[in-house]
Amino acid sequence: MGFARDFFSSDGLTVLPRRLLARLIAIAVVAFAVLMLAGPWLFYPPVYRATGQTLFSSFGGDRIVRFEPVPGGGGLHDTRIEIGLRAGGRDEIASGMPVNSVREGYVPIAVVVALCAGLFFVRRPRLSPVLIAIAATEGFVILRLWVALVYGFSRVGVGDHYLLELSAPLRPVVSLANAILGTDLHGTYVVPILIWAMTCLRASNLPADGQVDPAPGLARSESSPATPATETPKERLRRV
């Protein structure tokens, strides 16, 4: 049966046997649960607000953005993003969007960290793709925030002008991007999984057998037999 029984095979997509995949998913689920039970709503919202304020305090022209805590907290939304204009030395807030910072920022990072932890326990990945995955996920969090701000500025008006005037063809694009990235909950989970797959899971980012010892607790025979000296890279990929 050989590689045909492996979930991860060169004829399929991936590079881990089925049993290791099950272990990876189980460890990732436990790691994610631990990260969520660590109480992120206690420590993460201030981090989110400080980062957002640093990156987006000015949004071009006189546009301003403020990240404020929701009074009372503890509810669904812990942060209020206020947008407005600076006019005559005064900040005038035109509108505000309530945000659940844990869901928007912490959960995607927790997903990718949990998957990397799962991968570490079944087959040690190289460090650089793991760091790239975490950085790319942070980039996704910043991107969705930027899209939400562009959408917000383009929907709020002062007088007969919007705070951000978008061209007619761009308006539905921004609206759709905001719906997919900002409103939809599933992107919070799916995008980090994709980023992890493209960085950590790529065959080229997993050490070939013989280069790195398997993860602690894994019997060598479970992973694969020793690599023959004459094996080509493609044959090695098939067998992994």
What residues make contact with other proteins under the rule CB under 8 A?
A: 1, 4-7, 9-14, 18, 21, 25, 29, 32, 36, 75-76, 100, 102-103, 107, 172, 176, 179-180, 183-186, 188-190, 193-194, 197-198, 201-204, 208, 233-234, 236-237
In the bound complex, what is the minimum distance in angstroms from residue 188's beta carbon to other proteins? 7
Both tokens assigned to 194: 């994709």
Distance separating the N- and C-terminal Cα atoms of the chain: 14
Q: Are 199 and 136 in contact (CB under 8 A)?
A: yes
Residue with tokens 């996920």: 137
In the bound complex, what is the minimum distance in angstroms from residue 168's beta carbon to other proteins? 16
Length of the chain: 240
Q: How far apart are CA 48 and CA 170, in angstroms?
A: 28
The nearer residue to other proteins, 13 or 47, going by C-beta atoms, is 13
In the bound complex, what is the minimum distance in angstroms from residue 37's beta carbon to other proteins? 11
The nearer residue to other proteins, 18 or 220, going by C-beta atoms, is 18
The nearer residue to other proteins, 4 or 229, going by C-beta atoms, is 4
Q: Are 63 and 46 in contact (CB under 8 A)?
A: no
The nearer residue to other proteins, 20 or 65, going by C-beta atoms, is 20
Q: How far apart are CA 168 and CA 129, in angstroms?
A: 40
